[in-house]
Structure 1
Amino acid sequence: MGRPNEEVEALLQEYADLVAISGGDAFKARAYEKAARAIGGHPTDVSTLDAKGLQEIPNVGKSIAEKVVEFLSTGRVAAVEETRASVPAGVRELLAIPMLGPRKAMTLYEELQISSVEQLLDAVHEQRLRDLKGFGEKTEANILHGIALMQKAGKRILISAATDVADQVVGDLSQVEGCEGCAYAGSLRRMQETIGDVDVLVAAEASGPFMEAFGSLPYAAEVIASGRKKTSIRTTKGLQVDLRVLPPDSWGAGLLYFTGSKAHNIRIREIAVRDGLKLSEYGLFRTEDGAKVVSETEEEIYARLGLPWIPPTLREDRGEIAAGLRDELPELVEEGDIRGDLHTHTDLTDGLASLEDMVTAAAARGYAYYAVTDHAPNLYMQRMTDAKILAQRETVRKLDGKHRRMRLLHGTELNIGPDGEVDWPDDFLAGFDLCVASVHSHFRQSRDKLTRRLVRACENPHVAVLGHPTTRLIGKRPGIDADFDAVFEACARTGTALEINAHPERLDLRDEDILRAKRYGVKFAVNTDAHSVTHLPYMRYGVGTAQRGWLTEDDVINTWPLQRLRRFLAGPKA
């Protein structure tokens, strides 16, 4: 997706919030929210479209299209700026707090003159919110939790946004004459879920041309620091990117050093010291005389220390060194191992693309199978009916075989209700090839109720996959408070796969959860939960998270051949 799509999506979502804050038409705010989502998920770069072309995007009418054209041509929208001016800056600051909506933010400003996070914290601690209509102890707790989430996130960004920038920088610098290697390192190479800044390495004899090119990139808003060995910029998106140029014969040592993690590097340096060696970003040296032993590749450095090459996603000092010394490192699942996506949506519910477009995009990825799993009726805003889902099934069956190398599965994403019940009765559920079940509401039930709710869903004979199990949204909503060890045990007992939701805003399960669940013998499904064709490539982030959880092909059901997958879906429950 082109970056203009993301910029327009952010602008329209801001305008929707501003309309809501200022007491504008709720339907207008909702219209702009829908348009924002549609443009954000549109596969074509919107900067290439005129007003007429924009109106062909679902939920984008003439007025919205005109504003998008105005923004793309001038960098501003008069209507948005006028609305911004009518809303105090402090209220807009409050909007950054997860779990605090626009109306409540305006109420806080109008009734208590609160216009900053610090003032809001004081008001909560002084219990001044409780006298406001629509506020109470529960609201206070939600606000405190939202502020904690915001402060914890700090200036870190989602892995997808960091990857977009890193890929662009690596691509641009790779074209500079004299480049013998270029890659990103750091937490991004280790596939952490959020990124503070991006580290890019270049192997070259001369650093000058790369430092000059780096500081002159069109998306470099500011050169923070400049030197012969390291230059740092801040991009137009506010992300810091650090560039280091290494001698080609130090490439492996530099890549190892700057990939980290710090704890992993300390462990391997300890091994080097015991062997009379010293490891730095320039190579592995003998302590006795300073002679370089190896440096050009990570593989040869690890080998000299008696270790196999350790994949970056494992380098967190969670036992990978000991496993390597025992020759027991797992053969990690790779994105190329994924044979299909088992959780996706279409415009029949809240997706942005048609069934045919989603199927075509999946086939282009070379999948052997692909599941469509639109929402079931208990998620009322989706307006699903028995007739709609059965009509979709008929269309799926007709499309099955259109792409000769890919089989289609017709499924659904069930809603796990407050007591663990799901949408349709058993006889209706039996008609689906696959049922994913997920929690979408009642997140604040007691720990016991949430645990029983998830376990009951796992015990349903038709539920094959527990979708986005903790329900978290990174930086926006915490995971639910359930006894997940009990849930993992139930999944292992009932043959229910745990989803690793690859959407970068979710990455749910987390790597720590995966490591725990794996010990119970649970199987996993890495799915994108795609709501548009542009979401299907999110699979890379789900696979990266699976790797951080030490998963192999055998652990992940959608790496299996279709026949084996079907046996699992039928499973012990059948």
Structure 2
Amino acid sequence: MARPNAEVEALLREYADLIAITGKGAFKQRAYERAARAIGGHPTDVATLDAKRLREIPGVGSSIADKVEEYLRTGRVAAVEERRAAVPPGVRALLDVPTLGPKKAMTLYRELGVSSVDDLSAALRDDRLAELKGFGPKARENIEHGIAVLRQSSGRIALDAALDVAEETVARLAEVAGCRRCAYAGSVRRMKETIGDIDILAAADDPEPVMAAFRALPLVDEVVLRGRTKTTVRTVDGLQLDLRVLGEDSWGAGMIYFTGSKAHNIRLREIALRKKLKLSEYGLFDARTGRKRAARGEEQVYRRLGLPWIPPTLREDRGEVAAAQRDELPELVTERDIRGDLHSHTDLTDGVAPLTEMVAEAARRGYHYFAVTDHAPELRMQRMTLEKARAQREQLRELAGRHGRLKLLHGTELNIDPAGEVDWPAEVLAEFEIRVASVHSHFELDRAAQTRRLVRACENPHVNIIGHPTTRKFGRRTGIDVDLDAVFAACARTGTALEINSHPNRLDLNDEHILRARAHGVRFAIDSDAHAPAHLAHLRFGVAQAQRGWLSPDEVINTWTLTRLRRFLRKPGGGRGS
């Protein structure tokens, strides 16, 4: 079940979309987007805050605070209901199609009567969009792709939301008398970027008390299947949860079986057959006598198959079993290896917290170093200036030494324009210690143009990291059309790192991209792209993505010592920074 902060964030984002659809109030739209981001990243449950403390959240003024209070009190907001009534529901549904923004959605409704995704598919089939301004061949191709992505991901939720539910469920069931062990399994344990359903595994001598507690969870809306050792429920948010209860002596085999993936398990069963064994969720058995050979622990089962334990994030049948047989599994990067975060924002641009709070949270997390990389001036809505940037640098210098060992780096997130150029002249860029360059606009350019602009950015001697390289956002925007292998080759050639953006709505690069980039010899930065102190914790998702891409600590630049990192940041021809 979504916590109140997430519910309020979703409501305010919807309201911002409704404002955008009408084509009026761009400033108001951005204000609600900012407030949504601030509330979503606020560490305190907003349901516990009074009006005064609500207004203390950055970006939450009196009007927005009143709406939040109204929602928490009544479950609805009159102003939102009025906007919903003014915009056909089908038009709002069109916003779920990645690449299709509010203005285009309203144009489709007004000009062609398109009020659903099915209507949009039919209009594309009949080539009726060609009649409209702004819907050229590339735009139509992007919309078709967006519909395909939407339908493919239907019913799936982001990893962070799934983990919230999984961890809450496990914590509650672990308290049940007689429950000896409890953990989540399946694609959540493998840390896949989106989740279809959640598998929970419990060990108990008597399954019924655990099953009864599971069915009685507050988040349960419907019991779909009821059994002695398996129960399936659907939550109030429509998410399916499956609970399996085994004996404790089968725990290891059960965790392997229910963690998956299916293809990984098939590989293990093939090995078992060759060893005249049989592997199931209950254990590893002698195929002839039925005698149990291993079951209690995962390590025990893998060892009996002649393998080291394989981390869940690798269990996708992408060569991990063969690598294990050769004793060549990578030493995977972990959160403990991360020494600092190299991409973050403050309220100087589109962050929601002041510099002092972001730095304090980085120190609380035990980082050795922390980079502040507010947006550069070409992202005009952020109103950045050179004077503001230099004043922030002085503020960072004043904060130096106030948080123990934490070293502060002054950076910038640059905008890559259609030609591959970035903000500010070379002499200004040389003042910064770290420069992240990202695509924030012109997503519609063709493959050749997108590839040229990213390669050109890599070749810039001042660019250290390419941020969120494909620009994707789950449910909002597909990635740009780009020859990634050409970009990976350019990064390796120029000594430019690629970001693994840890925000759960991005996770960009994805695991398959990381594997390909790794083959080119690319270095990576696992960054939070935090816009609030609480967002620094998103790093766990980026680390999981890096693990799924087989990355070791040495391949991730923010696991390095500050001395080694600074040598890397002194890109040939790029100056030494401040």
TM-score bracket for the superposition, by shorter chain length: over 0.9
Q: Extract unaligned runs of 5+ from structure 2.
A: none
Whether the 8 Å contact between 1:176 and 1:209 is mirrored in structure 2 is: yes
Contact between 1:159 and 1:188, CA under 8 Å: does it hold in 2? yes
* 1:216–1:530 distance in 2 versus 1, CA, 3 Å: same
The C-alpha deviation readout for 1:18-43, integer Å capped at 9, x for no partner, is 34445665544443333222222222
1:325-404 alignment to 2 at 5 Å?
Answer: 325-404=325-404
Matched, 1:118 2:118: yes
Q: Aligned partners of 2:110 and 2:570: how far apart in 1?
A: 58
1:227 aligned residue: 227
Equivalence map 1:203-282=2 (5 Å): 203-282=203-282
Which residue is 1:455 aligned to? Answer: 455
Amino acid at match of 2:395: T
Shift of 1:335: 0.8
Q: Is the 8 A contact 2:2 2:161 kept in 1?
A: no
- Which amino acid counterpart does residue 174 of structure 1 have in structure 2? A
What's 2:166 paired with? 166
Question: Which 10-residue stretch deviates more, 364-373 or 175-184?
Answer: 175-184
Partners of 2:331 and 2:128 lie apart in 1 by: 56
* Whole-angstrom distance in 1 between the partners of 2:241 and 2:494: 47
Match of 1:36 in 2: 36
Change over 3 Å in CA distance of 1:489–1:83 after alignment to 2:
closer
Change (3 A) 1:25 1:549: closer
CA contact (8 A) 1:464 1:497 kept: yes
Corresponding position of 2:550:
550
The 8 Å contact of residues 501 and 527 in structure 1, kept in 2 or not, is answered as yes
| 1:171/1:23 CA distance change after superposition, 3 Å | same
Question: SS where residue 180 of structure 1 aligns?
Answer: strand
Secondary structure of the residue aligned to 1:375 is coil
CA-CA distance at 1:130 after TM superposition: 3.4
SS in 2 for 1:44: coil
The structural deviation recorded for 1:251 is 0.4
> 1:302-352 CA deviation, whole Å, 9 max, x = no partner?
000100000011111111111111111111111111010011111111111
Q: Which amino acid is the alignment partner of residue 512 of structure 1?
A: E
Counterpart for residue 91 of structure 2: 91
Shift in alpha-carbon separation, 1:113–1:55, aligned structure 2, 3 A:
same
Q: How does 1:126-525 map to 2 (within 5 A)?
A: 126-132=126-132, 134-525=134-525
Cα distance in 2, alignment partners of residues 488 and 133 from structure 1:
36
What displacement does 1:413 show? 0.9
SS in 2 for 1:38: helix
Which deviates the most, 142-151 or 287-296?
A: 142-151
Contact 1:146 1:476 in 2 (8 A): no
Per-residue CA shift, 1:220-263, capped at 9, x if unaligned? 12222111111112222221111111100000000000011111
Deviation at 1:80, TM superposition (A): 2.4
Structure-2 separation of matches of 1:262 and 1:545: 20
Instruction: Please show how residues 2-41 of structure 1 align to structure 2 within 5 Å.
Output: 3-21=3-21, 25-41=25-41
Say which SS state the counterpart of residue 374 (structure 1) adopts.
coil
In 2, the alpha carbon distance for the partners of 1:13 and 1:414 equals 25
Q: 1:113-163 CA distances to partner (integer Å, 9 max, x unpaired)?
A: 332221221122222233345544444333322212211211111111111
- How many angstroms apart in 2 are the aligned matches of 1:460 and 1:27? 34
> For 1:110 and 1:457, how far apart are their aligned partners in 2?
40
State the alpha-carbon separation in 1 of the partners of residues 416 and 25 from structure 2: 33
Aligned-pair Cα RMSD in Å: 1.8
8 Å contact from structure 2 (residues 98, 478) kept in 1: no
Contact 1:495 1:573 in 2 (8 A): no
Percent identity, aligned pairs only? 66
After TM superposition, the score normalised by the length of structure 2 is: 0.96
* Structure 1 residue 77, shift from structure 2 partner: 2.1
Deviates more, 1:538-547 or 1:234-243: 234-243
Comparing 237-246 with 33-42, which one deviates more in the overlay?
A: 33-42
Q: Deviation string for 1:522-567 (max 9, x for gaps)?
A: 1111111111112111111111111111111111111111111111
The alpha-carbon distance between structure 1 residues 474 and 550, as it changes in their structure 2 partners (threshold 3 A), is: same
CA distance in 1, matches of 2:547, 2:474: 19
Q: 1:563 to 1:541 in 2, by over 3 A?
A: same
Q: Which consecutive residues of structure 1, in runs of 5 or more, have no partner in the other structure?
A: none
Matches of 1:23 and 1:328, distance apart in 2: 56
In 2, the alpha carbon distance for the partners of 1:164 and 1:494 equals 40
| Cα deviation, residue 491, structure 1 | 1.4
Matched residue SS, 1:489: helix
- 2:45 is the counterpart of 1:45: yes
SS of equivalent to 2:79: helix
The residue type equivalent to 2:78 in the other structure is A
Contact 2:97–2:475 (Cα < 8 Å) also in 1: no
Matched length: 574
Shift of 1:292: 0.6
- Tell me the CA shift for residue 482 of structure 1: 2.1
Alignment check: 8 A CA contact 1:35 1:60 kept:
yes
Q: Which residue of 2 aligns with 1:526?
A: 526
After superposition, residues 67-106 of structure 1 pair within 5 angstroms as 67-106=67-106
- TM-score scaled by length of structure 1: 0.96
